[in-house]
Amino acid sequence: MTTSTVSAVMTADPITVTTQTPFKDIAELLTGNGISAVGVVDKTGALVGVVSEADLLPHLWDDPKPRWRDRRLARKATACAAKDLMTSPVVTIDAEAPLAVAAAKFARTGVRRLFVLRNGKPAGVLSRRDLVGVFTRGDADLEREVRDRVLRERLNLGPDRVRVEVRAGIVTVVGRVERRSDIDPVTRLIHELSGVVEVRNRLDYVWNDVA
């Protein structure tokens, strides 16, 4: 696991209910645990739906089945168990997916949370706030990872060849590499780290091996 994967920032061990869990029990789970949604699992433990606060609110309507309302919401207004309250299918993501993939899925779907799966079973919940939180990472910690794990271990570039500076999440690399083709991988690998706001690649090269 690395800091750039969903599993590193998700909330693990999500609270789940069965398809037969009663309305009131779900309401108590949401309020008692300070969460906004629970996953719904079948007898095998597979995720089949999600019940959020929004799914419970139709019960407060004055008229549960006015003609102008969406039939799906009207059904929720009289639902008594998770199987009739839940929204399905659930927007999910794999535990080892890159954070960039999660960010793109949030933008594309507009959901507030992603249920995280490992081997097809619920492993956690990822919120938009979890992703934003990666940018609070300290500059010194990020600089160490760039210098030690990316440049030295993965690219065999020591401080005698490439210098690193991180300020406010902006990573600047300065130095010289052997080939021009060595430059782009530096930018790509640094961008994969959590907490990186921008990469400013100032690397030069000895000889041009790019046609």
pLDDT per position as a tens digit, 150-195: 999 999 999 999 999 999 999 999 999 999 999 999 999 998 888 8
Mean pLDDT of the chain: 91
> Sorting pLDDT into bands at 50, 70 and 90, what band is 1?
very low
pLDDT band at 52 (very low <50, low <70, confident <90, very high): very high
Intra-chain end-to-end CA distance of the chain, in Å: 37
Among 34-38, 68-72, 189-193, the range scoring the smallest mean pLDDT is: 68-72
What's the pLDDT at 75? 81
pLDDT at 2: 47
> CB–CB of 113/126 below 8 Å?
yes
Distance set, CA 204 to CA 86, 167, 207 (Å): 56, 21, 9
Average pLDDT over residues 69-81: 80
Q: What is the side-by-side strand order in the sheet with 162-167?
A: 162-167, 170-179, 198-207
Share of the chain above pLDDT 90, in %: 78
The residue to which tokens 């590499």 are assigned: 177
